[in-house]
């Protein structure tokens, strides 16, 4: 039982936790394989943010068992945390572990038809771990877990619990380890990174000030909630040589009525003003966002408010999702649920608008320069990489570290660059 597969669903937090699990297993004599028929066991790090996420997890497990009936399936994470009874009854799942148990996976490898899912709200401390190597040239760091908000549609607090922040010294130590191991960029991630430090009297701004003192060449932030970005934040990042001008805003809607129903604590105009402020400080910044369409009681007029506000905004790209009912959330029992047909139509309209806005963003960057970092993979004749303002780039050379490059040509949703 020494060969394993690890399959990860969902967010960057899951991805970095999987990197840790992978490193932990390898350090204890297990070897990773990409062939299902070779593996003795598979760790499935699950997601439950939508009903479709659940379906993807279960479909993968069923297909895996069809390919290798003898493989041991160890399902861990958010789906297991919120659906533990379903998971343990599933004949294709051998071990079920919640979010409080998955990083201790070595303790459960030899269990059979076993379940351990503790009450996530009993977790009061961040579970510390160090990752020395990741599978990309940009290294992710988990700075916190959990969320103290109660958005009416969201199941994630029930899967992840309340905010537990990684200590400042641990984060800085992780950054220093990764920098010494050759990584030029770190990405700060978590379930709600804007709430980092709430549990011990610090703020995300305090963390950023300290990262500025490290030797890492650049850092990038995960998703931020609009009302948590303040003047002090702009003062720090606008004077930084390390900060990547890449913003991902957790907006969810740009209609005031829908935002109120979602229990989001800002108005559409505040978001539009924030986007303008970002562009004032960082004219070439990429600004992406998440939008949910088809939320209960979202009328055509409400949707059009969101659509029109996206259209007139300086957003660079929109990740759009149809509203998904999640048990135990307030929205699950709301009246005036929107039909699946209307949700699909609204998703398609936003996707079409997003493609246009992203293409406009790429055109705006033609002839300009940015810092780029390369990945080892090739795309045809070119190497792939990413700019500091979140443009997927193609380059005819690969190098380590970070270099300045000029955007020369748009190729589909990417840009060909020339190193300066």
Alpha carbon dihedral 345, 347, 349, 353, in 10-degree steps, equals -170
Work out the mean pLDDT of the chain and round it to a whole number: 96
Q: Examine the domain organization and report whether 244 and 151 are in the same domain.
A: yes
Q: Is residue 64 part of a domain?
A: yes
Q: Examine the domain organization and report whether 231 and 342 are in the same domain.
A: yes
Beta-strand pair 223-224/246-252: parallel
Q: Examine the domain organization and report whether 149 and 220 are in the same domain.
A: yes
Q: Examine the domain organization and report whether 74 and 214 are in the same domain.
A: no
The per-residue pLDDT for range 202-239, each reduced to its tens digit, is 999 999 999 999 999 999 999 999 999 999 999 999 99
Residues in CB range of 235: below 8 A, 6 or more apart: none
Average pLDDT for 58-70: 95
* Cα–Cα dist 149/223, whole Å: 15
The per-residue pLDDT for range 21-60, each reduced to its tens digit, is 999 999 999 999 989 889 999 999 999 999 999 999 999 9
What pLDDT score does 1 carry?
63
Last residue of a domain, one of 321, 341, 364: 364
Q: Examine the domain organization and report whether 384 and 351 are in the same domain.
A: no
The per-residue pLDDT for range 348-397, each reduced to its tens digit, is 999 999 999 999 999 999 999 999 999 987 878 899 999 999 999 999 99
Q: Is residue 133 part of a domain?
A: no
Q: Examine the domain organization and report whether 164 and 98 are in the same domain.
A: no
Beta-strand pair 138-142/31-32: unpaired
Q: Is residue 131 part of a domain?
A: no
Q: Is residue 130 part of a domain?
A: no
What pLDDT score does 379 carry?
74
* Cα–Cα dist 194/191, whole Å: 9
For residue 264, pLDDT over 80 is answered with yes
The per-residue pLDDT for range 266-275, each reduced to its tens digit, is 999 999 999 9
Q: Is residue 128 part of a domain?
A: no
What pLDDT score does 420 carry?
93
Average pLDDT for 67-96: 96
For residue 281, pLDDT over 70 is answered with yes
What pLDDT score does 71 carry?
95
Please answer whether residues 35 and 8 qualify as being in contact, where contact means their C-beta atoms are separated by less than 8 angstroms. Answer: no
**CATH number assigned to the domain comprising residue 262:** 3.80.30.20
* Cα–Cα dist 80/99, whole Å: 8
Q: Examine the domain organization and report whether 412 and 312 are in the same domain.
A: no
Average pLDDT for 247-255: 98
What pLDDT score does 378 carry?
81
Q: Tokens 């303790």 — which residue? A: 107
Structural domain boundaries, residue 82: 3-118
* Cα–Cα dist 122/124, whole Å: 6
The per-residue pLDDT for range 113-165, each reduced to its tens digit, is 999 999 999 999 999 999 999 888 899 999 999 999 999 999 999 999 999 99
For residue 252, pLDDT over 90 is answered with yes
H-helix or E-strand spanning residue 17: helix 12-27
Q: Is residue 124 part of a domain?
A: no
Q: Examine the domain organization and report whether 337 and 374 are in the same domain.
A: no
Q: Is residue 123 part of a domain?
A: no
Over pLDDT 90: what percentage of the chain?
A: 95
* DSSP 3-state of 211: helix
Q: Examine the domain organization and report whether 212 and 344 are in the same domain.
A: yes
Average pLDDT for 396-415: 95
Q: Examine the domain organization and report whether 360 and 375 are in the same domain.
A: no
* Number of domains the chain contains: 3
| This model's pTM is above 0.75 | yes
Alpha carbon dihedral 224, 230, 234, 237, in 10-degree steps, equals -50
Q: Examine the domain organization and report whether 310 and 191 are in the same domain.
A: yes
Last residue of a domain, one of 323, 341, 364: 364
**CATH number assigned to the domain comprising residue 373:** 2.40.50
Q: Is residue 188 part of a domain?
A: yes
Q: Examine the domain organization and report whether 59 and 188 are in the same domain.
A: no
**CATH number assigned to the domain comprising residue 93:** 3.40.50.12160
* Cα–Cα dist 106/183, whole Å: 28
Over pLDDT 70: what percentage of the chain?
A: 100
Average pLDDT for 271-289: 98
Contacts of 258-262 with CB under 8 Å at 24 or more apart are 258/295, 258/297, 258/298, 258/302, 258/306, 261/152, 261/295, 261/296, 261/297, 261/331, 261/334, 262/151, 262/152, 262/153, 262/292, 262/295, 262/331
């Amino acid at each position: 039982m020494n060969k394993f597969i690890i399959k990860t669903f969902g967010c960057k937090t899951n991805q970095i936790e999987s990197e840790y699990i992978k490193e932990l297993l390898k350090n204890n004599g297990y070897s990773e394989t990409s062939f299902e028929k070779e593996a003795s066991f598979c760790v499935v790090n699950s997601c439950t943010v939508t009903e479709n996420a659940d379906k993807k997890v279960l479909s993968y497990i069923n297909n895996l068992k069809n390919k290798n009936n003898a493989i041991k399936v160890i399902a861990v994470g958010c789906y297991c945390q919120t659906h533990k009874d379903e998971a343990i009854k599933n004949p294709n799942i051998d071990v079920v572990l919640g979010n409080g148990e998955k990083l201790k996976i070595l303790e459960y490898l030899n269990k059979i038809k076993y379940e351990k899912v503790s009450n996530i709200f009993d977790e009061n401390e961040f579970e510390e771990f160090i990752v020395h190597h990741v599978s990309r040239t940009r290294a992710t760091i988990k700075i916190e877990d959990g969320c103290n908000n109660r958005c009416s549609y969201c199941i994630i607090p029930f899967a992840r619990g309340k905010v537990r922040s990684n200590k400042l010294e641990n984060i800085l130590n992780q950054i220093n380890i990764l920098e010494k191991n050759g990584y030029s960029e770190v990405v700060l991630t978590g379930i709600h990174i804007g709430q980092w430090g709430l549990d011990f009297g610090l703020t995300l701004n305090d963390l950023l000030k300290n990262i500025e003192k490290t030797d890492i060449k650049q850092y990038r932030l995960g998703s931020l909630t609009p009302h948590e970005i303040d003047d002090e934040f702009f003062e720090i990042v606008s004077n930084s040589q390390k900060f990547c001008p890449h913003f991902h805003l957790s907006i969810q809607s740009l209609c005031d009525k829908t935002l109120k129903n979602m229990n989001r604590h800002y108005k559409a105009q505040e978001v539009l003003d924030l986007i303008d402020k970002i562009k004032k400080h960082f004219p070439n910044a990429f600004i992406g966002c998440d939008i949910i369409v088809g939320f209960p009681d979202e009328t055509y007029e409400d949707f059009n408010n969101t659509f029109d506000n996206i259209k007139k905004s300086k957003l660079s790209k929109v990740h759009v999702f149809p509203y998904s009912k999640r048990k135990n959330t307030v929205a699950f029992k709301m009246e005036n649920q929107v039909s699946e047909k209307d949700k699909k139509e609204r998703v398609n309209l936003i996707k079409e608008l997003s493609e246009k806005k992203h293409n406009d963003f790429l055109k705006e960057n033609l002839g300009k320069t940015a810092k780029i970092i390369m990945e080892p993979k090739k795309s045809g004749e070119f190497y792939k990489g990413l700019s500091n303002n979140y443009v997927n780039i193609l380059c005819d050379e690969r190098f380590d570290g970070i270099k300045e490059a000029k955007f020369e040509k748009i190729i589909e949703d990417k840009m060909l660059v020339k190193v300066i």
